[in-house]
Chains A and B, each alone.
Chain A
Amino acid sequence: MADFDITSGERDGMGPHGTKVGLLRVLGPAHVWALGVGIVLVGEYMGWNFAVGKGGAYAALIACWFAGILYTCVAMIDSEVTSTVAAAGGQYTQAKHIVGPLMAFNVGLYLVFAYTMLEAANAITAGYLFSVVATMSGFEGELDQRPFIILVIMFLAWLNYRGVLATLTFNLVITAIAFSAILVLFLSTSGVLGGGIMQHAALFEGHELPYGWVGVLAAMHFGLWYYLGIEGTTQAAEEVRSPARSLPFGTLAGIMTLLIAATLTWYVCSGVLPWEFLGDGVNGSVAPLFDTARLSGSNGLVWFLGFGTLFATLASANGCINDASRAWFAMGRDKYLPAWFGAVHPKYRTPYRAIVFLVPIALIFALGAPLDQVITFSILSGLLEYTFMPLNIILFRKKWPMGSIKRGYEHPFHPLPAIVLLSLCGITFFAVFLGYGTQLVAMIGFYIVVSLWFHFRRYRFVDRGAQFTMPWPKPQGY
């Protein structure tokens, strides 16, 4: 077994790269939970309901649970690899050490685009929410949402620029409030506390499976949105005090939280809102939990869920900026991207150039594309990443069998989670193909073109042996 123990806490995150200033190790398991759940919880506040539009309410519930299985596999696999490859860049760094540079470059881009698109979707939703609040407050006419979209992205980028501890502590607080809002809405409207307003049977009558079983398959496309981003906990690997304990604990606690939140969300929204309205996130229900609260007849719930939606979008956008910038930074540090991006702020110890650079990219998408397209772009990048994960864990166990290096966490039942994950990814590709096939092909076309660009141009600037920074023995079979 290799001498180096990832659980020892000896390693400075930047040490292997020989830089003088490293990222700060200041985070605990609660911050990891807040990062993961904070990014994802907005998925319960908006976006998941497109799954209802693609297959009906029952289809969205089935998709919710199957996507839950998919993400449980993701969390298990991720926990093992990340607790061993504890470095910024998350899955990018894993791919670099386990599969190879080109795969790593692609995975890095999946991460950046999945999170930047999610950030753009959050800003769009925050802008919408401000316009609704303006209307509720008596504002007449159509409120221009663009200044609010710009303000949200700029404010959160500034927060990220200033330091990771403040950023994720802020996330911890607002994520906890947003999660509490879902629980309170469920308790107040389901009949647990006082009279319930759920009307599932009457609302589903005649519309149980409007597209038949093919709709159930199609719903898997947006079913991912319930949980997309939980894998982002790995990006904090270089900034947690104890990666081997904090990362598996925070990630697995996060997926359990989300399974509960997703099911409760489906229950309260589908029991109050008609499926056609609920399923159209552009012309119908942009923020379904908020819309459910509006029909509850309680002003207190309307305001609480309004703040919950706003906090969820802020927490998610905040976490997305954090994660996307770490992935971009890590690629710059390895010269997969221009080395200028691989700099750490001398005072705040954050990847400040990567943070600033991604702001206009997020703005282009938030101001220029419709919500469902932005979400689909994010989901597709996520899906390509999840398809990589089973390949990654199979190669990881093959190249460094159990006992050859010390793992912070070992996931059970290998290779079952990898096989289940790969099968569910295949189903989800088909689900995206139903209705959004052109985008799927355009997206993969994009990744093929940038891969050729990387292999034939960019890779010449990369130092071959130096990019392998883990203190592991030589992989078996090489």
Chain B
Amino acid sequence: MSHYVPPKQGKLSQLFDVIVLVALTVGALFVPLWLNMAGDAKEVTTPVENPTWESLGQNAVQAGQYEALGYTPETAHDLILARFDYSFTTGALITMIVVIVAYYFLMLKFSEAEYREVISEKFGQK
């Protein structure tokens, strides 16, 4: 195999690549946040009016610890009653599985093609 000679990359081109990578990175975290779609689906589904420790499901020891931390039943209301919603559809689960498997399949397939080229150049043809 002939030796591959990579082109020399100019300063501006290097800068462009860095900007693209940073933009993608920031976008991956912040776009779901800006669209209000990023996780933490904890919500209070059944609020309690005029809450007491008993109505919030707390025994004497649990209530005592909350009071030691500076909480009252009113201020602890959301903290105690907020719950995740773990319900999901089969379609969403299958989508996630397909995305993950496709990602690793893509990685391994492209990597293998590139790797053969590397080994061929480093060690010569089989």
Q: Do A and B come from one complex?
A: yes
A160, CB-defined interface residue at 8 Å:
no
User: B56-92 CB contact bits vs A (8 Å, 1 = yes)?
Assistant: 0111111001101101000010111011111010001
B48, CB-defined interface residue at 8 Å:
no
A4 to chain B, nearest CB (A): 15
A405, CB-defined interface residue at 8 Å:
no
B40 to chain A, nearest CB (A): 6
Q: Which residues of B sit under 8 angstroms from A437, Cβ to Cβ?
A: 39, 88, 92, 96
Decide if A376 touches B123 in the complex (CB within 8 Å): no
A206, CB-defined interface residue at 8 Å:
yes
Decide if A100 touches B111 in the complex (CB within 8 Å): yes
B45 to chain A, nearest CB (A): 13
Decide if A101 touches B114 in the complex (CB within 8 Å): yes
Given contacts A339-B9, A460-B6, contact A203 B121 (CB under 8 A): no
Decide if B108 touches A99 in the complex (CB within 8 Å): yes
With both beta carbons as reference points, the residue of chain A lying nearest to B116 in the complex is identified as A478
Out of B32, B39, B57, B76, which one reaches A372, CB within 8 Å? B39
Decide if B119 touches A468 in the complex (CB within 8 Å): yes
Task: For the complex, give the distance between the alpha carbons of A203 and B80 in Å.
Answer: 13
Out of A53, A206, A449, A460, which one reaches B57, CB within 8 Å? A206
Given contacts A451-B106, A474-B119, A474-B123, contact A291 B69 (CB under 8 A): yes
Given contacts A280-B79, A295-B65, A464-B4, contact A446 B84 (CB under 8 A): no
**B-facing residues in A449-476 (Cβ within 8 Å):** 449-451, 453, 455, 457-465, 467-468, 474-475
Which of A307-315, A363-371, A411-419 lines the interface with chain B? A363-371
Q: Which residues of A sit under 8 angstroms from B30, Cβ to Cβ?
A: 368-369
Which of A25-33, A180-188, A234-242, A268-276 lines the interface with chain B? A268-276
User: A20-60 CB contact bits vs B (8 Å, 1 = yes)?
Assistant: 00000000000000000000000000000000011000000
Decide if A433 touches B96 in the complex (CB within 8 Å): yes
Decide if A273 touches B65 in the complex (CB within 8 Å): yes
**B-facing residues in A323-375 (Cβ within 8 Å):** 335, 337-340, 357, 361, 364-365, 368-370, 372-374
With both beta carbons as reference points, the residue of chain A lying nearest to B126 in the complex is identified as A478
A444 to chain B, nearest CB (A): 5
**B-facing residues in A277-318 (Cβ within 8 Å):** 277, 280, 283-284, 291, 294-295
A226, CB-defined interface residue at 8 Å:
no
Interface centre among A104, A277, A451, A475 (most CB of B within 10 A): A277
Given contacts A373-B29, A441-B96, contact A100 B115 (CB under 8 A): yes
Decide if A211 touches B122 in the complex (CB within 8 Å): no
Decide if B107 touches A451 in the complex (CB within 8 Å): yes
User: B1-43 CB contact bits vs A (8 Å, 1 = yes)?
Assistant: 0011111010100110110111011111111110001111110
Q: Which residues of A sit under 8 angstroms from B79, Cβ to Cβ?
A: 276-277, 280, 283-284
A142, CB-defined interface residue at 8 Å:
no
Given contacts A377-B29, A435-B39, contact A295 B86 (CB under 8 A): no
Decide if A451 touches B68 in the complex (CB within 8 Å): no
B72 to chain A, nearest CB (A): 13
Decide if B39 touches A453 in the complex (CB within 8 Å): no
With both beta carbons as reference points, the residue of chain B lying nearest to A368 in the complex is identified as B30
Decide if B28 touches A445 in the complex (CB within 8 Å): yes
A423, CB-defined interface residue at 8 Å:
no
B39 to chain A, nearest CB (A): 4
Closest 4 CB pairs of A and B: A100-B111, A465-B121, A100-B115, A338-B14
Known: A101-B114, A203-B62, A448-B103. 19 other contacts (CB 8 A): A99-B115, A104-B111, A202-B59, A202-B60, A276-B76, A277-B69, A277-B76, A284-B79, A357-B18, A373-B29, A435-B39, A437-B39, A438-B37, A455-B114, A458-B17, A460-B7, A461-B9, A464-B4, A464-B121
24 contacts between A and B (CB under 8 A): A99-B111, A100-B112, A100-B118, A101-B118, A102-B114, A202-B59, A205-B62, A274-B66, A277-B69, A335-B6, A335-B9, A373-B38, A374-B29, A433-B96, A438-B32, A441-B95, A447-B103, A450-B21, A451-B110, A453-B24, A457-B17, A463-B5, A464-B118, A465-B118
Residues on B lying within 8 angstroms of A by beta carbon are 3-7, 9, 11, 14-15, 17-18, 20-22, 24-33, 37-42, 57-62, 65-66, 68-69, 71, 76, 78-80, 82-86, 88, 92-93, 95-96, 99-100, 103-104, 106-108, 110-123, 126
